[in-house]
């Protein structure tokens, strides 16, 4: 089995425990971590002793802040095939979690963004805490909501998913519960006891089907109420401005409103990659009619088009390399993004298509 020093595995009772152990990088996922986790999940799938999986992050700040996009940036500059292998392996892992037959419990105790959403949201139980900060911020780096984002965002109450996709808005625990991206709210200081009680569970003789109910009962027993959701309070504004037929129409609606809320979001979108905004809009439009596996294949096509383009590299340069936060997008304006440019992100890849084992 593949091993990586930045991800730890242990068995506690009937629980398979996963710990993302890269705290200085906010537990961002490297290719090695992705491959190791995928291999371990496949092993535990066939292990009759392990009846559930729990995944958590190390350190006080993050569950997982995303994928190691700096490594992908470097690979693209060097012409390495990591720009293919990284996304292929990451999306395959996301699919495995989505279809995992055993309870999968993610402890979202801190920053949970991008790739961190991909290794949590598709599982059966997602536990938010007072530290949870959830987002899909990819349009800020010239990319698009991936790791299954097309699937879960397109299935939120319209047009909340589009709002989150375009703006990268950050959600706290109350927002995560409101959108059902999280299933439970449990204060951070109770998580250790939750893990202890889960590890102490055992299968009732002749009643193996009760296992999932026991897991759910532990989570409910420790659950609390996080407070009011800001996102819920903003729903009328989100529906008014983001329930449009194009990104241009969203921008026009925000511009014409001239309220503080509208101005803030207009300014946010003005800083995003125009290409990313438009392909993300199209991505969610298509995803609404696709099953999960088809969404992942679409996202892989999109990822490879971005790897062959300009804005991803410029976004990473501006945010992570030079850190000037002044990306120069190409094209620089929504009106310059042609239909041909958009469709290029959705073209079949022939022999290079994402294939699932």
* Rounded-to-integer distance, Cα 26 and Cα 1, Å: 25
Residues sharing a CB contact under 8 Å with residue 315, sequence separation 6 or more, in sequence order: 140, 141, 142, 143, 273, 276, 327
DSSP string, 98-159: HT-SS-EEEEE-SEEETHHHHTTTTSSEEEE-TT-EEE--GGGGT----TTHHHHHHTSSTT
Residues in the chain, overall count: 357
Q: Please tell me which residue in 146, 172, 175, 299 is annotated as part of the active site.
A: 146
Instruction: Based on the residue annotation, tell me whether 138 is a catalytic residue of this protein.
Output: yes
Q: Please tell me which residue in 4, 35, 68, 138 is annotated as part of the active site.
A: 138
Residue with tokens 């799938």: 45
Q: Please tell me which residue in 16, 66, 115, 161 is annotated as part of the active site.
A: 115
Instruction: Based on the residue annotation, tell me whether 146 is a catalytic residue of this protein.
Output: yes
Q: Please tell me which residue in 16, 57, 66, 67 is annotated as part of the active site.
A: 67
* Rounded-to-integer distance, Cα 226 and Cα 186, Å: 8
Residue with tokens 């993050």: 62
Residue with tokens 């949590």: 120
What is the widest separation between alpha-carbon atoms in the chain? 65
Question: Rg (Cα) of the chain, in Å, rounded?
Answer: 20
Residue with tokens 């095939």: 81
Instruction: Based on the residue annotation, tell me whether 115 is a catalytic residue of this protein.
Output: yes
* Rounded-to-integer distance, Cα 120 and Cα 94, Å: 9
Residues sharing a CB contact under 8 Å with residue 83, sequence separation 6 or more, in sequence order: 72, 75, 76, 304, 307
Task: Extract the tokens encoding 107.
Answer: 């402890």
Q: What angle do CA 112, 222, 190 make, to 5 degrees?
A: 60
The DSSP bridge partners found for residue 15 are: 12, 52
So which residues are the catalytic ones? 67, 115, 138, 146
């Amino acid at each position: 089995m593949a091993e990586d020093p930045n991800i730890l595995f242990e068995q506690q009772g009937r629980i398979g425990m996963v710990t993302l152990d890269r705290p200085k990088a906010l537990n961002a996922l490297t290719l090695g971590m992705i491959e190791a986790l995928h291999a371990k999940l496949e092993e535990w799938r066939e292990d009759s002793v392990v009846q559930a999986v729990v995944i958590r992050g190390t350190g006080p700040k993050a569950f997982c802040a995303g994928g190691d996009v700096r490594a992908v940036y470097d690979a693209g500059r060097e012409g390495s095939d990591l720009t293919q292998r990284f996304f292929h392996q990451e999306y395959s892992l996301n699919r495995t979690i989505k279809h995992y037959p055993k309870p999968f419990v993610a402890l979202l105790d801190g920053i949970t963004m991008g790739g961190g959403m991909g290794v949590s949201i598709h599982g059966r139980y997602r536990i938010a805490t007072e530290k949870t900060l959830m987002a899909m911020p990819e349009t800020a780096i010239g990319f698009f909501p991936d790791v299954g984002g097309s699937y879960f965002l397109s299935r939120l109450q319209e047009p909340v998913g589009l709002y989150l996709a375009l703006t990268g808005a950050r959600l706290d625990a109350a927002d995560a519960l409101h959108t059902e991206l999280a299933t439970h709210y449990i204060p951070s200081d109770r998580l250790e006891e939750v893990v202890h009680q889960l590890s102490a569970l055992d299968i009732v003789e002749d009643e193996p089907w009760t296992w999932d109910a026991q897991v759910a009962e532990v989570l409910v027993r420790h659950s609390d109420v996080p407070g009011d959701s800001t996102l819920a309070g903003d729903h009328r504004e989100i529906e008014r401005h983001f329930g449009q037929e194009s990104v241009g129409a969203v921008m026009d609606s925000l511009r014409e409103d001239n309220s503080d809320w509208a101005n803030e979001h207009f300014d946010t979108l003005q800083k995003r990659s125009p290409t990313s905004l438009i392909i993300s809009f199209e991505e969610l439009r298509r995803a609404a009619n696709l099953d999960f596996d088809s969404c992942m294949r679409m996202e892989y096509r999109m990822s490879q088009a971005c790897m062959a383009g300009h804005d991803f590299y410029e976004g990473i340069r501006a945010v992570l390399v030079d850190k000037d936060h002044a990306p120069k997008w190409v094209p620089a304006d929504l009106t310059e993004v042609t239909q041909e440019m958009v469709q290029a992100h959705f073209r079949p890849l022939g022999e290079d298509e994402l294939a699932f084992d």
